[in-house]
Amino acid sequence: VNISGKKKRGAKTLQEISGLCRLVDESGVFWTARACVRGKLIETNERLGKDPTLCAKFPTESGFLAIIATAPADMQKLKETGIGRE
């Protein structure tokens, strides 16, 4: 996918329930990581496939799952529901 420009043309549009990726825990149970916000998918972190420990070591830096561009109103909704960086 080629994403370009101010309006991020070519980016996949996500809804709150859109799946970002499938995760498997230590017991072999599969989970779907959801976007939890409407927006455009700008980037996924391909490094997590090689080093999944990045999520635990650097969750707000190199351990991110995806970068999603959201509208300001949707960011306010996230703040009100308690989903944040903490």
28-72 confidence digits (pLDDT tens)? 999 999 988 899 999 888 898 899 899 889 988 999 999 999 888
- With beta carbons less than 8 A apart as the criterion, state whether 38 and 59 touch: no
Q: Is residue 85 over pLDDT 70?
A: no
Query: What pLDDT, on the 0 to 100 scale, is given for residue 83?
Result: 60
Q: What's the pTM value of the predicted model, to 2 decimals?
A: 0.74
Following CA atoms 70, 73, 74, 78 in sequence, which dihedral angle do they give, to the nearest 10 degrees? 130
76: pLDDT strictly greater than 60: yes
